[in-house]
Amino acid sequence: MPGIFKPNVAEIKAFKEKQWIWADSVLATLSLKEKIGQLFMISTYSNRNESHYSETQRLIEEYYVGGLIFFQGDPVTQAKLTNRYQAASKVPLMIGMDAEWGLGMRLDNTMSFPKQITLGAIKDNNLIEKMGFEIGRQCRRLGVHINFAPVADVNTNPDNPVINYRSFGESQNRVADKSRAYARGLKRAGVIAVAKHFPGHGDTDVDSHVSLPVISHSKSRLSSTELVPFKALIADEIGGVMTGHLFVPSLESASNTAATVSKNIVTDLLKKELGFQGLAFTDAMNMRGITRGFDAGGAELAAYKAGNDVLLQTANLSAAFEKLYDAFASGELDEEELNSRVHKILRAKYRVGLHQKTHVDLTNLVQDLNDDQSQMVKDQLFKKAVTVVRIQPSTIPFIQLDTLAIGSVEVSGNQSTFQEELSNFGKVVPYKMRVKPSSSKDWQYIVDQADVLDYMIVSVHDMNSRKSRNFGVSPSTIQMIRELSKKTRVIITTFGNPYGLQLFDEFPNLICGYEEETGAYRAVAEVLFGALSANGTLPVTASSSSKSNYGNNSANLGRLTEDFPENLGMSGKKLNEIDGIIEDAIDQKAFPGCQVLVARRGKVVYHKAFGTYRYQRDEPVTKETIYDLASLTKVSATLQAAMMLNERGLLDLNLKASDYLPELAGTNKENMIVGDILFHQAGLKSFQAFWTHTKTNGKNFKNDFYEFKRSDENLQVAEGLYIKPSIRDSVWQWLLDSDLTTRRNRDGSFRYLYSDLGLIMMQRVIEKISGQPLDEFLEQNLYEPLGMTHTLFNPLNRFPKEQIAPTENDQIFRERQIWGTVHDPNAALLGGVAGHAGLFSNAWDLAKLYQMNLQKGVYGGRRYLYPETVKHFSTNYTAKSHRGIGWNKPHPDADLSSVASDASPNTYGHTGFTGTVVWVDPDRQLIFIMLANRVYPRDNNRKLMQLEIRRRVHEVINAAVEGV
């Protein structure tokens, strides 16, 4: 967002001179009727029919109205109508909207920002000013010049039926500071802010749309409370103030006289005593709080006499216009005073640019009104608003994800994605109640299961603002929470009006997310799991247990979450070039679909799914799709285990593998050093097709090995194909018997030769040291603690086939489509768990693992590796290759089609045969993950490599880093 522009004195003087000259010139051309017309802003809609639009145009032309206030509709239609109406008007129209929380308050396909009561929870008023700027920028893009916001009412009455959540809160100073911030943002965007509802609508229990509320406070009380925000805004030179349809006896002695028609309030208090010099707007003149007691047009005449400059949304334009015209024509009203007010209106029109072209450009209008810049601000607002009202010690954030059993109940969460947000961080058992429970029959089954849980998160949705309706929460919901609290520790999260917090006074753990918005769901989930620290405070008092300014801070554990590239020093526009590269690759059938994820500084800045599982099928890849990682298993599984055992002193890279595996003695592998195996320079061949030992002449499955039905003992090789567990010993023996490579250096040492066999050996070493199968060791020590719920070997044990991307249609070994079982033949032979292949995951899960590595072994408040370990293993120590210990690394002389040419030398990562890749760049704090199934339907498809898709994507990512 651009910084605050402070013009010098000469520029201000020059602007005002031009402003006055233009206003003078226009005023001189206006007849009495045309001047009277400038006082009116009439209502109109963009979701009606041509009859309505023609009538609006007729009123503009016949009564010379000065402006319009748009209500419901859509932005494109409104823009077209604005252009039409501007063309029909002699004097440019001032266009206004009630956009208190953005254009989305009135228009489809536009953005809604948080309500003011949510903003009241935020400490950082600069962020609210940014929001005001974004709303103002969107208004100007749509041809809107006035926003009837902010609501400057101090909501001291919790039962207020009309202000309530529209207020920043119950503290006059809080409301003043945040109103001023909002108005400043609008002003910087070139939009007139209009504070409402003067002299203060906060302490009312009557809706002025229906009747006339009475404010019984003394003038002293009004001055110290209700008027405080208006004073601050006037001192800040706000452009507009709206008077309210309120009876305030201490300011107006005439019985039942609304502030709108009170000269004592509008002229004497607002303009003279408080020194307001902007435009005084009435509230809507068709509201019953003002129309009672007046004949047609009478209220508008009285409002003008009171001192209002603009008469908004009149109930009867023709009658009001005639009343005013007759009063001026008869001399009852002074035309010089009219000239003064119209001149002020014209100066305001100049200030918002109406002396220039008024046409609204329709090109990319909807996209411009929903841009990333505004979405960034919106998301940040929800993050800063989350309020931990009260919490028991050591409850949140959740740390020990592998030992905690967490459940979640959504109450009336029909449209909620809250549980989806929770699942991004770890395993959470989901329960949903689509309707509000009316009896224990709706929830008893949940209570019955709760005693096995450590925590139950109860999220309350579909709340309302009415205490008379129990804020939309059923008594049975409260009873359910009571019963759950007997079984486990309950954390209540509400997504609704904070006054409703009073319903939960008896419970010790309470978090307020304020609104039914994805941004609010995400922010609360982040607070629960420590991806975000909470620092919001309640803007209102709901009860003695939930008072204004209550709010506990919570810790940020550094867990991965999403953010916008620009917040991390990256160009989102540049990153979006990845879309074109991937879509072109799919068109050229390099692969049918993929996931791409980019993270920087602990935040995911790009995460998209492309294409389908198979070509020309309606099976879209999603972010939850699980891919066969192929050789990423080496670094995502086996190497991670090796690093953990190494720093524990259990695995010495300088010892021989035979020191851990005595069976290597007497074989050609007896003297292989562990470090050399991980460097791929121990003399092992790249690959051995062990499966050929299990088929007769490579054709028929040998009965000694295979069965074609599942049993408790057999290992699955593919769908409908199983193998006896004794195969593991056979494969190991075949590996022991295998020849070494003949590739040697002049000194007789083995050259670098990338090998799967070495990682199969390392699996055996790790399992011998740990005393556990590799998959169990990793699940217990790494994946489950990290919250990697979609990372595992043999994914069909936990996930449906439909969530897994297929790989090759293998016509040689397995003679069937491979889908849900590992693609690599030797890993398949071993039952899906191997040191070189077999791991499945999605990009989001993998990002957690590699963020832990990037953060030098720490993630989510726990240490998994020492800082020195990660750096040590990712460093190149051998002259025989460019590689680190287990890791692949970029090198100018290495033929790597998967890494950017400008990758930093400290970058480490790996690729997988199925089309996968990960690169971690500590210098740029970057993670790049791409998962694809390029081997579908045949593994001889090399277009991914030929087109250098992974390299090109990586180069776009590096180019998106600004200032490097």
The model's pLDDT over 116-169, given as tens digits with 9 standing for 90+, comes to 999 999 999 999 999 999 999 999 999 999 999 999 999 999 999 999 999 999
Structure-model confidence comparison of residues 499 and 413, the more confident one = 499
Write down the mean pLDDT value for the chain: 95
Rounded CA-CA distance 809/689 in Å is: 18
Rounded CA-CA distance 352/146 in Å is: 9
Q: Between the CA of residue 92 and those of 65, 68, 84, 329, what are the distances in Å?
A: 10, 11, 12, 25
- Give the mean pLDDT of 208-221: 89
pLDDT confidence of 7, banded at 50, 70, 90?
low
- Closest to 637 in 3D by CA, of 424, 831, 833: 833
Task: Name the DSSP letter for residue 894.
Answer: S
- Give the mean pLDDT of 236-256: 95
For 462, the token pair is 């579909």
How confident is the model at residue 1, as a pLDDT? 41
- Give the mean pLDDT of 694-705: 90
How confident is the model at residue 523, as a pLDDT? 98
The 3-state DSSP class for residue 611 equals strand
From the CB of residue 218, how many other CB atoms can be counted at a distance below 10 Å? 11
pLDDT confidence of 4, banded at 50, 70, 90?
very low
56-93 confidence digits (pLDDT tens): 999 999 999 999 999 999 999 999 999 999 999 999 99
How confident is the model at residue 415, as a pLDDT? 59
**Least confidently predicted of 42-51, 370-379, 434-443, 748-757:** 434-443
pLDDT > 70: percent of the chain:
98
922, pLDDT greater than 80: yes
2, pLDDT greater than 50: no
181, pLDDT greater than 50: yes
- Closest to 634 in 3D by CA, of 827, 772, 770, 470: 827
pLDDT confidence of 962, banded at 50, 70, 90?
confident
Rounded CA-CA distance 562/599 in Å is: 8
Contact 230, 241 (CB under 8 A): yes
Domains detected in the chain: 9-34+113-355 (3.20.20.300), 386-557 (3.40.50.1700), 571-609+843-930+940-964 (3.40.710.10), 634-791 (3.40.710.10)
Q: Between the CA of residue 306 and those of 249, 271, 280, 727, 876, what are the distances in Å?
A: 16, 11, 10, 95, 82
Q: In 429-467, which positions are buried (b, 16+ CB within 10 angstroms) versus exposed (e)?
A: bebebeebbeeeebbeebbeebeebebbbbbbbbbebee
- Closest to 359 in 3D by CA, of 636, 136, 81, 565: 81
- Give the mean pLDDT of 172-190: 98
How confident is the model at residue 964, as a pLDDT? 54
Burial of 406 (0-12, 13-18, 19+ CB in 10 A): buried
45, pLDDT greater than 60: yes
- Closest to 481 in 3D by CA, of 546, 390, 541, 411: 411
Rounded CA-CA distance 80/362 in Å is: 8
Task: Name the DSSP letter for residue 780.
Answer: I
- Give the mean pLDDT of 831-860: 98
Q: What is the pTM of this model?
A: 0.94
How confident is the model at residue 418, as a pLDDT? 95
How confident is the model at residue 6, as a pLDDT? 59
